[in-house]
Structures are given as C-alpha cells and as structure tokens.
Amino acid sequence: MAKPNPAQFIQEVRQEASKVTWPTRKETTVSTVMVFVMVIIAAIFFLVVDQILSFGVKTLFGLGG
C-alpha cells in the first residue's frame, strides 16, 4: 500500500470534513440536555434498585437494625 503524501492527505481530510453536516447549536443543546436527563433518570433508577436489594439482603440475613 503506497504511503500518501502528507499534503494530499490533508487535502483529502478537508474534503471529507466539508461533507459533514454539523449539528446546529440548538440541536447540540437539546442533545446535551437529553443526555443529562437520561443520566439522572438512570442514576435514580439504580439508586432505587440498590436500596430495594439492600433492604432485601438485610432482611434475609437478619442484619436489619
């Protein structure tokens, strides 16, 4: 496989980057907010599941105080 010329490589990278459809600021903001919302929902879900399992194990082994 032939090694490309660095200048040619940079030119090809610029051509490919110009084909990319970049998201708007609004799309980026909405996506970021949705990620944070989903992370918070997942954290609350796992907290609740952990508390339920912890209660169940403590009750099962008689460690509840």
For the whole prediction, is pTM greater than 0.85? no
pLDDT band of 1, cuts 50, 70, 90: low
Domains of the chain: which residue ranges?
28-58
CB 46 within 8 A of CB 52: no
| Chain mean position to CA 49 | 21
What are 39-59's pLDDT values in tens digits?
999 999 999 999 999 999 988
Separation between Cα atoms, residue 63 and residue 42, nearest integer Å: 28
CB 64 within 8 A of CB 58: yes
- The token pair at 3 is 């090694």
Task: Kindly provide the residue ranges of all beta strands, DSSP E only, lying in the chain, ordered along the sequence.
Answer: none
Separation between Cα atoms, residue 51 and residue 43, nearest integer Å: 12
